Structure formats: structure tokens, C-alpha cells
Amino acid sequence: MACRTGCPTPGKHKTWGECARSANLKVAYCGIGGGDATEQKRWDAELDLYRAARRQGIQPDGTTKDKVMAAIESSNAAGAAYGRDFGAAPPAPEGVEAA
Ligand SMILES: [Zn+2]
């Protein structure tokens, strides 16, 4: 069972990454970097991204965009939740192909 805790459709997703992508992670992801975002909006977006990551079980090293993005990308690459399932050095689980 690769689904995240709290997945609305457990068993539907083959990998943790697929499960995470099916959730709203990508929506929050896209909210970052809008060219006309004010500082406040950017800050809100960072926190939203951080919260979205935490909902997936990811525990970034900090709330800044760089740290959250790094944690999310590491999690997607590893198919596991950064900070919960592994630390700074991602594991190389079976079945995960290099990009
Ligand atoms: Zn799922």
C-alpha cells in the first residue's frame, strides 16, 4: 500500500508520489512565483506550500520556499516523505527510476 495516510482513495495509487501528486500539492506548487505577487502574497504562498507538504507527511527543514521545494522534490524523487521516511540523503527504493 503506497498511499499516504489520509488518502481519500487508498489503494488507487501505485506509488507515494502518484498519491501525493493526485492531492493538492501541485495546486499549491503553482501558486508560487506569480510575477505580480506581493511580498505578503509570496509569504502566504510559501506557508501554503509548507502546509500542503506537511499534509503529505513531508517535514521540510524550514518554511522557506527553497527548503519546502527541496523537500517536496526529494520526496517525489524518492517516493517517500522527506523528514518522515528519510532525511537529507534520500534512499533509493526499489522500483524508483532515475529521472
Ligand atoms: Zn492515494
Please write the tens of the pLDDT for every residue from 5-23.
878 888 888 888 888 777 7
Q: Give the distance (Å) from ligand 1 centre to CA of residue 1.
A: 9
For 20-61, the pLDDT digits (tens) are 777 755 444 444 555 555 677 777 888 889 999 999 899 999
Residue tagged 518554511 (cell numbers): 63
Q: Give the distance (Å) from ligand 1 centre to CA of residue 18.
A: 7
- The number of helices, as runs of H, and strands, as runs of E, in the chain is 4, 0
Mean pLDDT of the residues in the chain: 77
pTM above 0.75, yes or no: no
Torsion sign across C-alpha atoms 97, 77, 52, 4: positive
Q: Give the distance (Å) from ligand 1 centre to CA of residue 51.
A: 18
Residue 82 φ then ψ, to 5°: -60, 140
42 against 83, higher pLDDT: 83
Separation CA 4–CA 87 (nearest Å): 18
DSSP secondary-structure letter at 20?
A: H
